[in-house]
Structure 1
Amino acid sequence: MAGLIKREDIDEVRQRTDIKEVVDGYVTLKGAGLGTYKGLCPFHDERSPSFTVRPQVGRYHCFGCGEDGDVIAFVQKQDHTSFHEAVEKLAARIGYELRYEDGGTGPNREEVGKRQRLLDAHKIADEFFRAQLLTPGAAEGRNFLFGRGFDRAASEQFGVGYAPQGWDALLKHLRGRGFTDQELKLTGMFSEGNRGIYDRFRGRLIWPIRDIAGDTIGFGARKLYEDDQGPKYLNTPETTLYKKSQVLYGIDLAKRSIAKDRQLVVVEGYTDVMACHLAGIPTAVATCGTAFGTEHIKIARRLLSDDGSGGEVIFTFDGDAAGQKAALRAFEEDQRFTAQTYVAVEPTGADPCDLRQSRGDAAVRDLIATRRPLFEFAIKATLRRHNLDTVEGRVAALRESAPVVAQIRDAAIRPEYARELAGWLGISVEDVSRAVGVAMKRAAPGGPAAPGTLAGAPGQMASAQSGAVQAGSAQAGGPGVAAGPTSGAVPSYQRPDPRDPVASMERQALEVALQESALLGGGIWERFAAARFVTPAFQAVHDAMRASGPGLIGEPLRWVEQVMHEVPEPLRPLVSELSVVPLPASTAEAVQKYCKDILSRLFELQITRVKADKMGQLQRLDPAANPEDFQRLNRELMMLEMERRALRSDA
């Protein structure tokens, strides 16, 4: 695996990527002033648009919920990817070859082009299959869906399609769209025989399998006809795009609800996902022909723990032996993530699709609502293998179940389950606790972490991403205002009074300096750097600008990024807000005039303050005793007045 991406490449990707084009893929943006765009925030529910994008400085800021960041942060939050993955995705988008600190390189332009061709082929195939579902030849497929309670709207919502029974319907379609057989072989949508390639999916219902960003990367197919000798379900084989251990069906539709509700429901099939979503469980996903494993858990971490808080993962299994085996396998994997884990078991063996069909949406919701902790399920599954009516059976059950309890590493939960086990077995708590203690000692000291691990407080998921939590968000007392110091070394900044004309002017000056930094060139920078701000929060931002220096003022993205780096962390949301708030001008000329006027007012205010200071010195001075100082101060006051008049004249 490649190491850290070189810093200069990260900066280059950030510089070259148009944040508006990226955000446009998720949010409908409309102009809100020159160079500023607004839309409904993708991170919280709102009726009036408060999500603002400023391409010139490469940032977004929501004035409703306080979410802010650059284009990399947007992709991270929207697609629930790591920083590394977000940079790689954006680099691929613009065809930029990344370099890594270990000397390796990311995908080159040729590889990026090949990947995009594969994605294009899948997108076209997806559209082809969906169109085929509406044809007369797909009647059997439509009947299958209708018979399971899915109407046309449901099929369209989940992109269900149909693969014709012929051998080359899709092949001809993609060839007609300019794809070569060599390219098509790499998609996994075709098999190869003596006469060349032919359609892999024939006479089947088709479900598009998409990644978390919504790109179709494979397909799942269900057979419809009795003369089909193939398996009941047939998926895309492993390809460059499709790796079943890293894919969850429905994740593209469920990701926002999972992140919002802090809940992930894992079901077994495509129709189960559909049934859950339609029944009001929009957090449902399914694995694709494999067990829920390590890579799936990584996806769950990203979605459930963006803010470091706990969540819950609910597995739905049949009540039969196979379902119990799957649940125990999930228990073994539970060590790898620390969300609270549950099992929802339907005793009759009905899956969510069957349950919805026979008993309605409420039955599916009840199944999830009556979930049981996975720990409890795993322990009771071991007990069911023994005859608890006999002494020998109870002792054997204790010997087998004590190691299960011992694997619960959370010190608060483990003794409680020891007490529960004692009650289920009819054995004293002391004897059960002793058996659990022995099982813990027998565990290999260097072995894998025990299942059921809860790192930290019970139910708290370990953060999947490194980095400190940003303090002073908009919710903590207003944009850019910290609720209090995060440590003894971090000062507290109070919200400026919006009625204070000086604070208002200082804010406007910082907006101009961040958004139109090119105006600070020449001698203007020295004047701006010498300015002093009355409002502490604004002075701290100004200090960060001075620390950033004049070298980047002609490069808006890097300028704002550097100021963000220099400013105290509690004030970063304030800098983000100042850098995107629309300036009150509708043309380039009007913006220039407005900015110059604001800077002139700032400089005039500085002159007025200096004049007042020197006037005080002059009044305290005895002209007879200090004639030279008296004359010097008068000259300086005269020069300051001339400078003030010149500023007004220019304005």
Structure 2
Amino acid sequence: MPKRRRPLLRPGKPHRSSGRSESDGALAGHDRPCRARRTGGGHAEMSLYDIDQIKQRNPIEEIIGRYGIVLLRSGTRLTGRCPFHKDENPSLVVYPETRSFYCFGCGASGDVIDFVRRFDGLGFRAALERLTGGTSQDSVTREERLPNRDQAPKEPRSLSLDDRMILTAASAVYSDVLLRTPAALAYLGGRGIGEMIIRRCHLGYSDGHSLSQYLQRRRLSLRRAREMGLLWRDGGEKMAGRIVVPEMRGDQCVWMVGRPLDNAHDPKYRGLSLPKPLLGYERVRGRQRVFVTEGTFDYLTGVGWSLSICALQGIKVQAQRLAFLERARRVFLVFDNDERGRDAVVFLTGLLGDRARVVELPQGVKDLNELGQLPDGRATFFELVRLSESRQPEEVRHAVPAR
């Protein structure tokens, strides 16, 4: 049995306050408050405010540094070697402003609580107690432990024929509902998504009740629909009130993501309880010229321009997910015009080498979809592509703006 790691965070050790105000969400979209409230055994309930205070009292850059990880400042962020995989080139990026970290090598990400959980193999409550000095590693119960970071992750369950039937049925229902929902069509139109893209990408909309009724009529498993993340336990639809973008393989749906018509819903994007695939895989498979973008609506804009485009659906660009690019002779990177998008581009250009070309969006334009909403957006984009392709390979690394 491997020797147990001595905890680097000593119980009772005071933490220096960051002095920052409550500028970020307490949980950054996690469902931890519910989990904290359900714990028993005499533990006090943990509110959103309490958890946010723990984060403020434990600046993520300081906690990571206590684990022996050297962080070097680069602008407003810090970089270092990731402890969760063999990291020859520093790929761990820490963002003090948002109290978060992300590894461009293995995809590990989260806040200070996530880091402690992953590094020490703890559950959520035990990690909170570690940060507040409430317990030592020896007192953590077996139920609170998570798999050690050196253990290989379990293989995701592959989709059965019945699973694909359920997902494809859901996609068909949502597509039908969308065409009967003026508000959803108006939202898509406002983002430059017209009828051609709607039909080509099988876009849909969930009204919150049609899916479960249809699955019952077809005698498809409601239990499996719940397990895959289509339905809540009470039969309600998880995608209710959302534009639904499916990932199709042939004529079968294998995944989908939903986006609400306004920004009042949380989370902004809701996926399924299944491994997240590359969006648009069949559009780029085997192609020699490929466009890689970040977001779902960026992908839809590219489809409307007949690009061989795919979306990573975020900046999680682990190297093993890029095998589909092996045959591509030219890869155009079109990421969000922000710090994290530029970090992803730097990482990808390092992996792709001379094949990479960086398409720089105009100043003030957030992403590809926003560019597509401008009157001359399409013409501007193809001019930017032409400029990126004219650069010599050694110029690519200098094309990433260091704003």
How high is the TM-score relative to the length of structure 1? 0.35
Counterpart check, 1:250 vs 2:280: yes
Residues 319 and 253 of structure 1: CA distance in aligned 2, closer, same or farther (over 3 Å): closer
**Alignment counterpart, residue 359 of structure 2, candidates 344, 352, 362:** 344
Q: Residues 586-610 of structure 1, C-alpha deviation per residue, up to 9 Å, x if partnerless?
A: xxxxxxxxxxxxxxxxxxxxxxxxx
The structural deviation recorded for 1:380 is: 6.5
Q: Distance in 2 between matches of 1:250 and 1:299?
A: 11
Task: Quote the Cα distance in structure 1 between the aligned partners of 2:177 and 2:162.
Answer: 22
- Show the counterpart of 1:318: 336
1: distance between equivalents of 2:254 and 2:221?
Answer: 18
Other-structure match for 1:291: 316
Matched, 1:268 2:294: yes
**Could you say if the C-alpha distance between residues 339 and 216 of structure 1 is closer, same or farther in structure 2, counting changes exceeding 3 Å?**
farther
Specify the alignment match of 1:205 in structure 2. 243
Contact 1:210–1:216 under 8 Å retained in 2: yes
Cα deviation, residue 197, structure 1: 4.2
Secondary structure at the aligned position of 2:317 is classed as coil
Deviation, 1:200, is 1.1
Structure-1 separation of matches of 2:317 and 2:284: 17
Structure 2 Cα separation of the partners of residues 182 and 188 of structure 1 = 10
Q: Deviations over 1:545-564 (max 9, x none)?
A: xxxxxxxxxxxxxxxxxxxx
Name the residue aligned to 2:378: 361
Contact 1:118 1:186 in 2 (8 A): no
Do the aligned partners of 2:283 and 2:309 also contact (CA within 8 Å) in 1?
no
What percent of counterpart residues are identical? 20
Gaps spanning 5+ residues in structure 1: where?
1-110, 305-310, 386-651
Per the TM alignment, residue 349 of structure 1 is displaced from its structure 2 partner at its CA by 4.2
1:232 aligns with 2:273: no
Distance 2:319 2:231 in 1: 29
Superposed displacement of residue 126, structure 1: 0.8
8 Å contact from structure 1 (residues 356, 363) kept in 2: no
Alignment of 1:117-516 (within 5 A): 117-135=162-180, 138-164=181-207, 166=208, 168-192=209-233, 196-211=234-249, 213=250, 215-225=252-262, 228-237=264-273, 239=274, 243-244=275-276, 247-255=277-285, 259=287, 262-280=288-306, 282-301=307-326, 303-304=327-328, 311-332=329-350, 334=351, 340-350=355-365, 351-358=367-374, 359-371=376-388, 376-379=395-398, 384=402
Q: What CA distance in whole angstroms lies between the structure 1 residues aligned with 2:393 and 2:316?
A: 16
Aligned length: 244
Distance 1:117 1:266, change over 3 A: same
State the Cα deviation string for residues 516-535 of structure 1 (Å, max 9, x = none).
Answer: xxxxxxxxxxxxxxxxxxxx
- Decide whether aligned partners of structure 1 residues 142 and 373 sit closer, same or farther in structure 2, where only a CA change above 3 A counts: farther
Task: Summarize the alignment of residues 522-541 of structure 1 with structure 2, pairs less than 5 Å apart.
Answer: none
Please give the per-residue CA displacement for 1:36-67, whole angstroms capped at 9, x wherever unaligned.
xxxxxxxxxxxxxxxxxxxxxxxxxxxxxxxx
In structure 1, what is the Cα distance between the partners aligned to 2:399 and 2:200? 39
CA 273–374 in structure 1, closer or farther in 2 if over 3 Å, else same: farther
Look up the SS of the partner of 2:303 in the other structure.
helix
Contact 1:316–1:343, Cα closer than 8 Å, also in 2: yes
Higher relative helix content: 1
Contact preservation (8 Å) 1:341, 1:373: no
- In structure 2, do the counterparts of structure 1 residues 216 and 298 end up closer, same or farther at CA, with 3 Å as the change threshold? same
* Distance (whole Å) between structure 1 residues aligned to residue 246 and residue 330 of structure 2: 27
CA-based RMSD: 2.8
Question: Residues 346 and 217 from structure 1, CA distance in 2 versus in 1: closer, same or farther, beyond 3 angstroms?
Answer: same
**CA shift at 1:160, angstroms?**
0.9
Write the mapping of 1:78-89 to structure 2, written as runs, cut at 5 A: none
CA contact (8 A) 1:190 1:198 kept: yes
State the TM-score, normalizing by the size of structure 2: 0.54
SS at the partner of 1:209? strand
Contact kept, 8 Å, 1:160 with 1:206, in 2: the verdict is yes
Q: Distance in 1 between matches of 2:377 and 2:362?
A: 17
Consecutive unaligned residues of structure 2, counting only runs of 5 or more, are: 1-156
Structure with max Cα Rg:
1
CA deviation profile, 1:237-257 (whole Å, cap 9, x unmatched)? 3x2xxx22xx221222343xx
**In 1, Cα distance between the equivalents of 2:244 and 2:178?**
9
**C-alpha separation in 2, matches of 1:214 and 1:368:** 31
Matches within 5 A, 1:564-579: none
